[in-house]
Structure 1
Amino acid sequence: MTNSDLQQSDIDVREQVNELADAASRAQRDLAHATTDVKNSLLVAIADALDTRADEIAGANALDMEQAFDEGLSEGKLDRLKFDVPRIAASAQDMRKVASLPDPVGQVVRGFETTNGLRIQQVRVPMGVIGMIYEARPNVTVDVISLCIKSGNAAILRGGHEAARTNAATLAIVKDTLKELGFDGALIGSVDQFGRAGATAMMEARGHIDLLVPRGSARLIKSVVENSKVPVIETGAGNVHIYVDESADLDKAIPIIINSKTQRVGTCNSAEKLIVHRSIAEQFLPKVAQALAQAQVVLHADEISYRIIKDADIEDIQLLQADDADWGIEYLALEMGVLVVDSVDEAIEHINEYSTHHTESILSQDYSNIEWFTQGIDSAVVMVNASTRFTDGGVFGFGAELGISTQKLHARGPMGLIEMTTTKWVAYGNGQVRA
């Protein structure tokens, strides 16, 4: 194929993606007029269809899993890719949860009346067409559809080649249900058939797609943020930290750390770094290292923690000396960096330098240090004496989430229904004219 042919092919893909987005926009206008009851009924119907036809999705996912394993996908990514019948059922139940939540569309944010009687209100309205680019996460397909329908938005999806069969099976069921209930199937579109060119076309679809949300690896997110002509909400990779303060309840600290690191290693809210105050390091590090060793976690330790842990002579421990590169890595695996600091200020400084501004946790019984930490940390979520795994739209009561925003404009933290709306001003008059 010549360069001219490649250029023409890219043009063809862009045109087709723009057409998909425009069709989604037309379908979204009809959805925007739907009542809350109609949207809720549609979500429940889709959830029921997912449960009824779960074997179709699970069968497609088994093929995706087999291919991904053969291609050497990491353990964490394989876990994200897995979408078996129990996980499909959980996603369907999350969709029903979204249906039960208050509808943000039409909510009055604020309002007032001017001296001449003009009544002005700021109300929530849908974004329009939301584009989602994500990797090997088929549950995200269901989450996005749930949130988009309830918030009155259309969606264009690029779910990545690893989950292509799974996503296609899910979307087929969704589109069948939309049509059965009288909605345009174009409301939820996919560009997976175009491969990477489809993702590129989405990034260039300004005027066709209203908002683009990347969710996946740091590399994917960086590429979308730097290259997109469409407005982007940046969801972050999770270089997540736990700081164990000198006043921490050490008996409670170990279960929190183990849960944060090992409960699901492939998620962006799993802990990647453990920071320990020097005054408790000799006492605490051998105990927590032994627990992490039993969980088969590889430790990348700084000079002080390496000496303490090595001297403890822990059976079957996998201990490495950390280098500067370790502090910025999101492992997404059974690996964890360990660092000893002299103060809460040093912990804050280190975290703010190396964090991806996703989630951090402090384990402490000192109220002053807790407040200092929560105020000083520049991340979307700060946990106090709790696992980092709680940073999740479902846990926060959102039913599902579009992603965890690590930026500061429009949305920050788990994004639910409200974060998928914008606002407009409506002014009600009775013949007023401006002098």
Structure 2
Amino acid sequence: MSDDPRQHRYLAALAERYTQRTRGSQLTREAAWPALADGRMSQGYFSTAPEPARERWRATKQLRHSIVATRSQGPLVWDIDGNEYIDFCLGFGVHLFGHRPAFIEDALRAQLERGLPIGFENPLTNRVAANIARLTGSERVGFCNTGAEAVMGALRLARAATGRDRIAVFAGAYHGGHDSVLPLGQTRGVSANQRADTLVLEYGDARSLAQIDAHADQLAAVLVEPVQASNPGLQPAEFLHELRELTSAHDIALIFDDVLLGFRIHAGGSQAHFDIRADIATFGKIVGGGLPIGVVAGSARYLDALDGGRWSAHDSSQPGGDKIWLAGTFSKNPMTMAAAHAVTEQLLAAGPELQLGLNDATARLCDRTNTWLRNHSLPVELVRCGSLFRLCAPPQLWPVMAELRMRGVFAFDGMVFFVSTAHSETQLQQFEAALQSSLLALRDGGFTT
């Protein structure tokens, strides 16, 4: 943090106003300390980070308590203090249709009236699988509880099919919190063997293709987040097509992690957007309609290992080959299947125009805002992919997130924003005004020239 006294005065004043506005959230989080162990309480702090980054965190820690929400509707969320926010976090991208859309609520109420017979098969499961297969062009579909579980299952399927152990991933991607794919620098508690089995490469770099080629006889899979939330401007279509050719040539499973952008960037996900057929794709977030879900979808060559492939009770057939394990008590639970059925039916009914409309609205928002930013010579840019955009700014401008909340705009601290079908054009313009006044306040506070 700078020694500029304007910055110190600005942060002190902002912290006082922010604490007053969100006192209930702060007290709720502080009351949780004795019993609740939660990484969100220290979000953004890493002891291994360079000292300037840790100093920025310490200087702004009064602005970093999580907001405690009490209710939501459409594009709006209300916190425990009664503050109203236009929500651009949307459950980290979950709520494509906004909060509490009627078609999902109706499906959940209907399922509650029928009960929660966990442990039995659900008549909706087949329909959800068929809908996902239709949307994504997948041959077979399996379910689990989270996107992280789906990625874990996809890697297990790849290893089972190829007989190899190592995987390649790309720096900057996020694939959930399991040991094989934790981000670099966050691998404390992960065994050395797990780290050794993971080859970390630079995304979009031709040298990474050469590395994959060199290690091909060891690699079970290449796991890729086609568009990374940390860098949505990087959309290397040519690289992905070359990666598809290379993995096919070496019989390496190509896995698309589409948990974040699946059904948002395109009705068929990143495979349809880039016109590439992966061997396996993983989904989550949107398709669960707000309930926890993970989806593994793709080629029968890989997915058949979940159940042994097709067989019948009426002839001499039996499951083929050795199966792998991907199951859990709450996999395919009735509430999740009810919500997922409602969501997939809505996606099929709406067609690709749904995503095209959202993408266009987001593009207009980003274009208008970037024009204003350039005209005011601010070192900030909105970079987007589909209806996701990222606020790219120097690290010292992080307090802009607190300024936005002071103006009734909510997004997660990672500066990634999502647009939903529930957002009106007026609310998008309110975001623009809030961002503009927030950045001008930071300029007055000495954080940029």
TM-score range (shorter-chain normalised) is: under 0.3
Rg: which structure is higher? 1
Superposition TM-score, scaled by structure 1 size: 0.27
Q: Normalising by the residue count of structure 2, what TM-score does the alignment of the two structures yield?
A: 0.27
